[in-house]
Structure 1
Amino acid sequence: MHIEELHQYCLGKKGVTEELPFGPDTLVFKVVGKVFLLVGLDQINQLSFNVKCDPEYAIGLRQQYEQTVVPGYHMNKKHWNTVYANRELDDEFLKKLIDHSYDLVVKALPKKLKTEVEKSN
């Protein structure tokens, strides 16, 4: 997966916006104002991104894919993973991790905001 593919995949989800709240080097994808993925735009040789993750699932992923999934860099390590693309996981699995993050955020939204997401795009 390349950053362009990641970008298009995230923007293809309902209610998603992109922002640069931490400066020009960190692209943040949000659903109704809630972050579900962060990616550094200054990466040259190795793409990695941070995604939200169920705590138990996060531990399992880190144990199974030690070279690819690590506790979230500069994030709450219980709920966030840093995932390295183009290592042990194929693009479909990477998309599942992005979906999982997006779904966790949407699931936690109040009913009114969930309805907004469903009506968007």
Structure 2
Amino acid sequence: MDQKSVHTYLQAKPGTFITKPFAQEVDVYKVQHKMFATLYEGKEGQTNANGEPVWWLNLKCDPDEALLLRDKYSSIVPGYHMNKRLWNTIVLDGSIPEDELKKLIDDSYNIVVDNLPTAQREELARITSGDN
């Protein structure tokens, strides 16, 4: 998945909105005002096989799974500018299969939603079911 398809997938998660609290070039994806992902252009000069900039995606993760993923994929590293125990940075260089990347995004979103207070989870459920 490239930056555009990741952005589209993230934005489609129920109740998601984007803020830019860090810098104009950093999209922060939130649900109920809780961050579950960031997407930004990686290190200057880092390009893919097509010469395009490589994007980085930060996702929340179960601490044990975070370590396993880092061992499995060289493009998954401890969360850049994040709590390295709970966040992974994924370098979007095309090395991670699309299904796996979608699962990681889903997991990050679900971790945040599952930890919301009951009232916020219920509000999210109403919003997503159309019962405003």
Instruction: Select the residue among 120, 124, 130 that pairs with 1:117.
Output: 124
SS of 1:38's partner is strand
Q: Which runs of 5+ in 2 are unaligned?
A: 44-51
Deviation string, structure 1 residues 52-111 (Cα, Å, up to 9, x no partner):
00000001111111x111000000000000012234311111111000000000010011
Contact 1:39 1:50 in 2 (8 A): yes
Q: 2:118 & 2:53 partners in 1: Cα distance?
A: 41
Counterpart residue number, 2:99:
92
Instruction: Please give the alpha-carbon distance, in whole angstroms, between the structure 2 residues aligned to 1:114 and 1:78.
Output: 25
Q: Secondary structure at the match of 2:101?
A: helix
Listed as ranges, the gaps of 5+ residues in structure 1 are: none
CA-based RMSD of the aligned residues comes to 1.5
- In structure 2, C-alpha distance between the alignment counterparts of 1:42 and 1:27, rounded to whole Å: 13
Q: Tell me by how many angstroms 1:47 deviates.
A: 2.0
State yes or no: 1:47 paired with 2:55. Answer: yes
Which of 52, 56, 71 is 2:64 aligned to?
56
Inter-partner Cα distance in structure 2 for 1:70 and 1:59: 9
Give the greater-gyration-radius structure (CA). Answer: 2
